[in-house]
Amino acid sequence: MHGKIHIGDHVMFGPGVHIHGGNHKFSVVGKWMKELTKQEGEDGLVVIQDDVWIGANAIILKNVTIGEGSIIGAGAVVTHDVPPYSIYTGVPLAKLRERFSADTILQHKEILKKRGVLD
């Protein structure tokens, strides 16, 4: 089994983005790495929720969720979950700031509902 990747709606990707839901086994003594196979469930899951923007050349590794409305800066390496409506960048990945305040998120979603583009 290979890693799984779930991509939500209205997601934007810059050029050169890499998403890796899996990895290689490398810790078995007496076998070449290329000989090793994995059992079902050993690879990870990447979840990119709705309305996310992934900047150019970002790398997203296994077992992470990028929350709704978030932004990942160009060249970032995502190794852990990113909360909704936040902006992360860099290597190592670090929070730059919140995209919206809690009140603004509610207003944003209400406007999208009124426009008929959000359930």
Q: Which residues are catalytic?
A: 24
Domains detected in the chain:
4-115 (2.160.10.10)
Place 14 in a pLDDT band, splitting at 50, 70 and 90: very high
Tokens of 36: 């090793």
Q: What is the model's pLDDT at position 23?
A: 77
The answer to whether residue 97 scores a pLDDT higher than 80 is: yes
Q: Summarize pLDDT for 45-66 with one digit per residue, the tens.
A: 999 999 999 999 999 999 999 9
- What percent of the chain stands above pLDDT 90? 77
Q: What is the model's pLDDT at position 2?
A: 67
Beta strands in 28-105 (DSSP E): 45-48, 53-54, 59-60, 64-66, 71-72, 77-78, 86-89, 94-98
Measured CA to CA, the distance from residue 63 to residue 44 in angstroms comes to: 5
Q: What is the model's pLDDT at position 35?
A: 84
